[in-house]
Amino acid sequence: MASAGDDAHEVDDKYLRDIVVSFLLAGRDTVSSALTTLFMLLSSNPTVAATMRAEASDESAPLTYERLKRLHYTHAVLYENMRLFPPVQFDSKFCAGPDVLPDGTYVAGGARVTYHPYAMGRMPRIWGADHGAFRPDRWLTGPGGAFVPESLYRYPVFQAGLRVCLGKELAVTEMKAVAVAVVRAFDVEVVGDSGAAACAPKFVSGLTASISGGLPVRIRRVVR
Protein backbone atom coordinates (compact mmCIF):
# COMPACT_ATOMS: atom_id res chain seq x y z
CA MET A 1 0.00 0.00 0.00
CA ALA A 2 1.23 3.49 -0.84
CA SER A 3 1.67 5.76 2.17
CA ALA A 4 3.68 8.73 3.36
CA GLY A 5 5.93 8.62 6.42
CA ASP A 6 7.13 5.87 8.74
CA ASP A 7 4.04 6.02 10.99
CA ALA A 8 1.70 5.57 8.04
CA HIS A 9 3.88 2.71 6.79
CA GLU A 10 3.62 0.94 10.17
CA VAL A 11 -0.16 1.40 10.19
CA ASP A 12 -0.39 0.01 6.67
CA ASP A 13 1.72 -3.02 7.60
CA LYS A 14 -0.45 -3.73 10.64
CA TYR A 15 -3.60 -3.35 8.54
CA LEU A 16 -2.29 -5.77 5.93
CA ARG A 17 -1.24 -8.29 8.60
CA ASP A 18 -4.71 -8.10 10.15
CA ILE A 19 -6.35 -8.65 6.76
CA VAL A 20 -4.13 -11.66 6.01
CA VAL A 21 -4.86 -13.22 9.42
CA SER A 22 -8.59 -12.64 8.88
CA PHE A 23 -8.44 -14.36 5.48
CA LEU A 24 -6.50 -17.32 6.89
CA LEU A 25 -8.88 -17.83 9.82
CA ALA A 26 -12.02 -17.30 7.73
CA GLY A 27 -10.89 -19.92 5.22
CA ARG A 28 -9.53 -22.46 7.69
CA ASP A 29 -12.56 -24.79 7.81
CA THR A 30 -13.52 -24.48 4.14
CA VAL A 31 -9.97 -25.10 2.90
CA SER A 32 -9.59 -28.15 5.16
CA SER A 33 -12.97 -29.46 3.98
CA ALA A 34 -11.93 -29.11 0.32
CA LEU A 35 -8.56 -30.77 0.92
CA THR A 36 -10.21 -33.68 2.74
CA THR A 37 -12.51 -34.49 -0.17
CA LEU A 38 -9.64 -33.88 -2.61
CA PHE A 39 -7.51 -36.62 -1.05
CA MET A 40 -10.57 -38.85 -0.83
CA LEU A 41 -11.02 -38.52 -4.60
CA LEU A 42 -7.32 -38.86 -5.39
CA SER A 43 -7.23 -42.11 -3.41
CA SER A 44 -9.74 -43.65 -5.82
CA ASN A 45 -8.33 -41.89 -8.91
CA PRO A 46 -4.59 -42.66 -8.92
CA THR A 47 -4.14 -41.58 -12.54
CA VAL A 48 -5.27 -38.07 -11.59
CA ALA A 49 -2.76 -38.00 -8.73
CA ALA A 50 -0.04 -39.23 -11.10
CA THR A 51 -0.84 -36.46 -13.60
CA MET A 52 -0.67 -33.86 -10.84
CA ARG A 53 2.67 -35.29 -9.76
CA ALA A 54 4.02 -35.14 -13.31
CA GLU A 55 2.90 -31.52 -13.69
CA ALA A 56 4.83 -30.53 -10.55
CA SER A 57 7.66 -33.04 -10.97
CA ASP A 58 10.64 -30.73 -10.41
CA GLU A 59 11.18 -31.15 -6.66
CA SER A 60 14.12 -28.74 -6.68
CA ALA A 61 11.94 -25.84 -7.82
CA PRO A 62 10.31 -23.89 -4.98
CA LEU A 63 6.51 -23.62 -4.99
CA THR A 64 6.38 -19.92 -5.70
CA TYR A 65 3.12 -18.12 -6.39
CA GLU A 66 4.03 -17.75 -10.06
CA ARG A 67 4.80 -21.46 -10.38
CA LEU A 68 1.56 -22.45 -8.66
CA LYS A 69 -0.37 -20.28 -11.14
CA ARG A 70 1.08 -22.33 -14.01
CA LEU A 71 -0.24 -25.64 -12.63
CA HIS A 72 -3.37 -25.72 -14.78
CA TYR A 73 -4.15 -29.41 -14.29
CA THR A 74 -3.91 -29.10 -10.50
CA HIS A 75 -6.19 -26.06 -10.68
CA ALA A 76 -8.70 -28.12 -12.65
CA VAL A 77 -8.52 -30.96 -10.12
CA LEU A 78 -9.29 -28.55 -7.27
CA TYR A 79 -12.27 -27.03 -9.08
CA GLU A 80 -13.63 -30.42 -10.10
CA ASN A 81 -13.33 -31.61 -6.50
CA MET A 82 -15.27 -28.58 -5.24
CA ARG A 83 -17.88 -28.98 -7.97
CA LEU A 84 -18.75 -32.40 -6.57
CA PHE A 85 -18.06 -31.63 -2.91
CA PRO A 86 -18.35 -27.88 -2.22
CA PRO A 87 -17.21 -26.96 1.31
CA VAL A 88 -20.30 -24.74 1.73
CA GLN A 89 -23.27 -26.70 0.42
CA PHE A 90 -25.93 -24.01 0.49
CA ASP A 91 -26.31 -20.30 1.21
CA SER A 92 -29.09 -17.74 1.37
CA LYS A 93 -29.62 -14.12 0.42
CA PHE A 94 -32.48 -11.79 1.32
CA CYS A 95 -34.12 -9.68 -1.35
CA ALA A 96 -33.81 -5.97 -0.53
CA GLY A 97 -36.97 -5.20 -2.50
CA PRO A 98 -39.43 -6.82 -4.92
CA ASP A 99 -37.60 -8.29 -7.90
CA VAL A 100 -37.95 -10.73 -10.78
CA LEU A 101 -35.34 -13.42 -11.44
CA PRO A 102 -34.04 -13.98 -15.00
CA ASP A 103 -36.39 -16.94 -15.47
CA GLY A 104 -39.41 -14.77 -14.61
CA THR A 105 -39.82 -15.88 -11.00
CA TYR A 106 -41.20 -13.09 -8.81
CA VAL A 107 -39.44 -12.56 -5.47
CA ALA A 108 -41.08 -10.43 -2.80
CA GLY A 109 -39.11 -7.86 -0.84
CA GLY A 110 -37.51 -9.41 2.24
CA ALA A 111 -37.89 -12.94 0.86
CA ARG A 112 -35.13 -15.42 1.53
CA VAL A 113 -33.59 -17.01 -1.57
CA THR A 114 -31.45 -20.10 -1.02
CA TYR A 115 -29.11 -21.61 -3.60
CA HIS A 116 -27.40 -24.99 -3.38
CA PRO A 117 -23.87 -25.33 -4.86
CA TYR A 118 -23.88 -29.10 -4.18
CA ALA A 119 -27.00 -29.60 -6.33
CA MET A 120 -25.89 -27.06 -8.96
CA GLY A 121 -22.57 -28.89 -9.34
CA ARG A 122 -24.45 -32.04 -10.36
CA MET A 123 -27.02 -30.61 -12.76
CA PRO A 124 -26.95 -32.37 -16.18
CA ARG A 125 -28.03 -29.25 -18.06
CA ILE A 126 -24.93 -27.43 -16.77
CA TRP A 127 -22.34 -30.21 -16.64
CA GLY A 128 -23.62 -32.74 -19.16
CA ALA A 129 -24.36 -36.44 -19.00
CA ASP A 130 -21.19 -37.16 -16.99
CA HIS A 131 -22.12 -34.63 -14.29
CA GLY A 132 -21.49 -37.22 -11.57
CA ALA A 133 -18.02 -38.18 -12.81
CA PHE A 134 -14.78 -36.80 -11.41
CA ARG A 135 -13.23 -35.50 -14.64
CA PRO A 136 -10.76 -32.62 -14.22
CA ASP A 137 -10.26 -32.40 -18.00
CA ARG A 138 -13.65 -30.70 -18.35
CA TRP A 139 -11.97 -27.50 -17.11
CA LEU A 140 -8.99 -27.64 -19.52
CA THR A 141 -10.60 -26.09 -22.57
CA GLY A 142 -8.22 -23.19 -23.14
CA PRO A 143 -5.30 -22.96 -25.60
CA GLY A 144 -2.83 -25.75 -24.95
CA GLY A 145 -5.10 -27.31 -22.36
CA ALA A 146 -5.20 -24.24 -20.13
CA PHE A 147 -7.66 -24.02 -17.26
CA VAL A 148 -10.83 -22.06 -18.06
CA PRO A 149 -13.18 -21.22 -15.17
CA GLU A 150 -16.94 -21.60 -15.40
CA SER A 151 -19.21 -18.63 -14.70
CA LEU A 152 -19.46 -18.12 -10.94
CA TYR A 153 -23.23 -17.97 -11.37
CA ARG A 154 -23.16 -21.57 -12.65
CA TYR A 155 -20.39 -22.61 -10.26
CA PRO A 156 -21.19 -20.63 -7.09
CA VAL A 157 -18.67 -22.34 -4.79
CA PHE A 158 -17.11 -18.92 -4.11
CA GLN A 159 -20.40 -17.02 -4.52
CA ALA A 160 -20.58 -14.40 -7.28
CA GLY A 161 -21.06 -10.74 -8.09
CA LEU A 162 -20.74 -8.21 -5.28
CA ARG A 163 -20.67 -11.02 -2.70
CA VAL A 164 -17.87 -13.07 -4.28
CA CYS A 165 -15.47 -14.53 -1.72
CA LEU A 166 -12.72 -12.01 -0.93
CA GLY A 167 -10.33 -14.82 -0.01
CA LYS A 168 -10.93 -16.88 -3.16
CA GLU A 169 -7.45 -16.54 -4.65
CA LEU A 170 -5.76 -17.08 -1.29
CA ALA A 171 -7.84 -20.22 -0.67
CA VAL A 172 -7.03 -21.68 -4.10
CA THR A 173 -3.33 -20.89 -3.64
CA GLU A 174 -3.32 -22.56 -0.21
CA MET A 175 -5.02 -25.66 -1.59
CA LYS A 176 -2.64 -25.84 -4.55
CA ALA A 177 0.42 -25.53 -2.33
CA VAL A 178 -0.72 -28.24 0.10
CA ALA A 179 -1.96 -30.60 -2.62
CA VAL A 180 1.22 -30.34 -4.68
CA ALA A 181 3.52 -30.69 -1.65
CA VAL A 182 1.72 -33.88 -0.59
CA VAL A 183 1.10 -35.46 -4.00
CA ARG A 184 4.60 -35.12 -5.38
CA ALA A 185 6.05 -36.85 -2.28
CA PHE A 186 3.33 -39.28 -1.14
CA ASP A 187 0.54 -41.59 -2.22
CA VAL A 188 -2.55 -41.16 -0.05
CA GLU A 189 -4.84 -44.17 0.37
CA VAL A 190 -8.15 -44.01 2.23
CA VAL A 191 -8.45 -46.89 4.72
CA GLY A 192 -10.91 -48.12 7.32
CA ASP A 193 -10.63 -47.30 11.01
CA SER A 194 -8.42 -50.34 11.66
CA GLY A 195 -6.35 -49.95 8.51
CA ALA A 196 -8.48 -52.39 6.55
CA ALA A 197 -9.98 -51.63 3.15
CA ALA A 198 -12.19 -48.57 3.42
CA CYS A 199 -15.89 -48.35 2.78
CA ALA A 200 -17.08 -45.33 0.81
CA PRO A 201 -16.60 -42.32 3.13
CA LYS A 202 -19.82 -40.55 4.06
CA PHE A 203 -19.97 -36.91 3.01
CA VAL A 204 -21.87 -34.86 5.61
CA SER A 205 -23.49 -31.54 4.77
CA GLY A 206 -23.59 -28.66 7.22
CA LEU A 207 -22.48 -25.07 7.57
CA THR A 208 -19.11 -26.44 6.41
CA ALA A 209 -19.18 -29.92 4.90
CA SER A 210 -17.13 -32.75 6.37
CA ILE A 211 -16.52 -36.49 6.24
CA SER A 212 -18.35 -38.46 8.93
CA GLY A 213 -15.80 -39.81 11.39
CA GLY A 214 -12.92 -38.14 9.57
CA LEU A 215 -10.88 -39.61 6.74
CA PRO A 216 -8.40 -42.30 7.90
CA VAL A 217 -5.61 -42.63 5.35
CA ARG A 218 -2.39 -44.55 4.76
CA ILE A 219 0.58 -42.52 3.53
CA ARG A 220 3.30 -44.05 1.35
CA ARG A 221 6.34 -42.18 0.13
CA VAL A 222 6.59 -42.08 -3.65
CA VAL A 223 9.55 -44.12 -4.91
CA ARG A 224 11.28 -42.46 -7.85
With 80 as the cut, is the pLDDT of residue 35 above it?
A: yes
User: Is residue 165 part of an annotated ligand binding site?
Assistant: yes
With 50 as the cut, is the pLDDT of residue 1 above it?
A: no
With 50 as the cut, is the pLDDT of residue 160 above it?
A: yes
| Average of per-residue pLDDT across 106-133 | 95
Better-scored residue on pLDDT, 162 or 27: 162
Q: Looking at 59-63, 111-115, 152-156, 175-179, which range is the least confident one?
A: 59-63
- pLDDT of the residue at 125: 94
In this prediction the pTM is 0.85
Print the domain residue range for 98.
9-184
| Cβ atoms of residues 132 and 85 within 8 Å | no
What is the per-residue pLDDT across 133-153, written as a single tens digit (0 to 9) for each?
999 999 999 999 999 999 999
Residue 4 is assigned to a structural domain of this protein: no
With 90 as the cut, is the pLDDT of residue 20 above it?
A: no
- pLDDT of the residue at 7: 58
Residue among 151, 91, 99 at smallest CA distance from 126: 151
Better-scored residue on pLDDT, 17 or 84: 84
Residue 3 is assigned to a structural domain of this protein: no
Residue 211 is assigned to a structural domain of this protein: no
Better-scored residue on pLDDT, 163 or 43: 43
Share of the chain above pLDDT 70, in %: 91
CA dihedral 84, 130, 79, 211 (to 10 degrees): 20
Number of domains composing the chain: 1
Q: Tell me the three state secondary structure of residue 1.
A: coil
Residue 174 is assigned to a structural domain of this protein: yes
Q: Looking at 83-87, 177-181, 191-195, which range is the least confident one?
A: 191-195
For the chain, the farthest-separated pair of C-alpha atoms sits apart, in whole angstroms, at: 63
Residue 209 is assigned to a structural domain of this protein: no
Residues sharing a CB contact under 8 Å with residue 103, sequence separation 6 or more, in sequence order: none
* CATH code, domain carrying 40: 1.10.630.10
Residue 98 is assigned to a structural domain of this protein: yes
Q: Tell me the three state secondary structure of residue 127.
A: helix
Please state, in angstroms and rounded to a whole number, the distance separating the CA atoms of residues 75 and 80: 9
DSSP-assigned states of every residue in 69-111: HT-HHHHHHHHHHHHHS-SS--EEEE-SS-EE-TTS-EE-TT-
Residue 220 is assigned to a structural domain of this protein: no
With 60 as the cut, is the pLDDT of residue 73 above it?
A: yes
Residue 163 is assigned to a structural domain of this protein: yes
Question: How high does pLDDT run on average in the chain?
Answer: 88
